[in-house]
Amino acid sequence: MKRDETISAHKILFLCHGNICRSPMAEFVMKELVRRAGRDDIVVESAALHTDEIGNDIHYGTRRKLLAEGIPFAPRRAWLINAAKAREYDLLIGMDDYNMADLRRLVFPEDAGKIRKLLSFAGSERDIADPWYTGNFDETYADILEGCTALLKSL
């Protein structure tokens, strides 16, 4: 995606492996950016691509980082996306190449054009590292903030 390209999206779904670290972090960061921008026409949610964490709330490291950055969040439960539910969204945003491959296999062919990698909005094809493995929630937050800021500018 080109940095200055404008897209029309009012219902955004962030996705990652388990929906406890990166995608809910992106959900709450984007919700706060949308609120600060005074936009009430954008719905933001997040979901899992695998069943590992279904029903669990966000990771304690994600909670700590959101609190440290002053980003409001609410208790939630990880849920699993399917092709029918994916159809309800304008944008399906993955965090890394594995998410992108999972999304391409999951969605109906006519919905493939909705799939984007978060940092592509900032002009990068880099992955957003999974802090479940790296333990680095600061780096993940910085990348998510960069991607969400660029995404909002494109809307």
d(CA 42, CA 114): 16
Given 16, 96, 143, 148, the catalytic residue: 16
Q: Which of 145, 52, 147, 50 is nearest to 101 (CA)?
A: 50
Whether 16 is catalytic: yes
d(CA 47, CA 22): 10
Given 96, 102, 130, 143, the catalytic residue: 130
d(CA 142, CA 22): 11
d(CA 71, CA 19): 17
Which ranges of 9-154 does DSSP label H, i.e. alpha helix?
22-36, 60-69, 83-86, 97-106, 131-134, 137-154
With contact defined as beta carbons under 8 Å apart, do 103 and 61 qualify?
no
Given 22, 96, 116, 148, the catalytic residue: 22
The residues that are catalytic are 16, 22, 130
